[in-house]
């Protein structure tokens, strides 16, 4: 499949609800996740707890938004893949690990913390999406 790739930051045009009508929750209210490395690249899997949450995140959690959120790590590009069977969005962030496992000077040289960082992203939630916590 052809992944969606972040290029220039684009405005959110996917929702009919205005921001003021929304409640802001952390992404962790809607999803769980895990991250890891491949060389100097990282992947972050975000898995929605519900179908409604997954449908919403497919629209909202774009590669552009994730690239913007991690701008401080200077990703050369961000790709997003969908795995609807596990209500998953898989993000691949290129060149974000400061050299990767051996060469990186960071304590998180392998991107293990990136999923936890992304789960803190503030999400303006439309009323119709019930955030359901985990099993």
Task: Map residues 77-116 to x or -, x wherever contact with another protein holds by CB under 8 A.
Answer: --x-xxxxxxxx-x-x-----xxxxxx-xxxx---xxxx-
Size of the site for another protein (CB under 8 A): 49
Q: Which of 118/126 has CB closer to another protein?
A: 118
Q: In the window 38-67, what residues touch another protein (CB under 8 A)?
A: 38-40, 43, 45, 47
What is the SS3 assignment for 100? Answer: coil
The tokens for 13 are 């045009």
Please report which residue ranges of the chain form alpha helices under DSSP H: 51-60, 63-69, 114-118
Binding of another protein by 4 (CB under 8 A)? no
The tokens for 3 are 């992944």
Q: Which residues contact 64 (CB under 8 A, 6 or more apart)?
A: 6, 7, 8, 9, 10, 78
What number of other Cβ atoms are within 10 A of residue 82's Cβ? 15
Query: What residues make contact with another protein under the rule CB under 8 A?
Result: 1, 3, 28, 32-34, 36-40, 43, 45, 47, 69-73, 79, 81-88, 90, 92, 98-103, 105-108, 112-115, 117, 119-120, 134-135
């Amino acid at each position: 499949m052809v992944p969606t790739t972040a290029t220039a930051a684009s405005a959110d045009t996917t929702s009919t609800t205005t921001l003021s009508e929304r409640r802001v929750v952390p992404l962790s209210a809607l999803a769980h996740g895990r991250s890891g490395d491949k060389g100097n690249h990282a992947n972050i899997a975000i898995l929605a707890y519900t179908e409604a949450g997954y449908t919403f995140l497919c629209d909202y959690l774009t590669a552009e938004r994730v690239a913007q959120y991690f701008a401080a790590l200077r990703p050369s590009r961000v790709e997003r893949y969908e795995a609807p069977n596990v209500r998953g969005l898989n993000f691949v962030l290129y060149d974000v690990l400061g050299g990767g496992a051996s060469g990186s000077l960071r304590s998180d040289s392998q991107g293990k913390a990136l999923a936890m960082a992304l789960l803190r992203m503030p999400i303006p939630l439309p009323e119709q999406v019930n955030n359901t916590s985990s099993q």
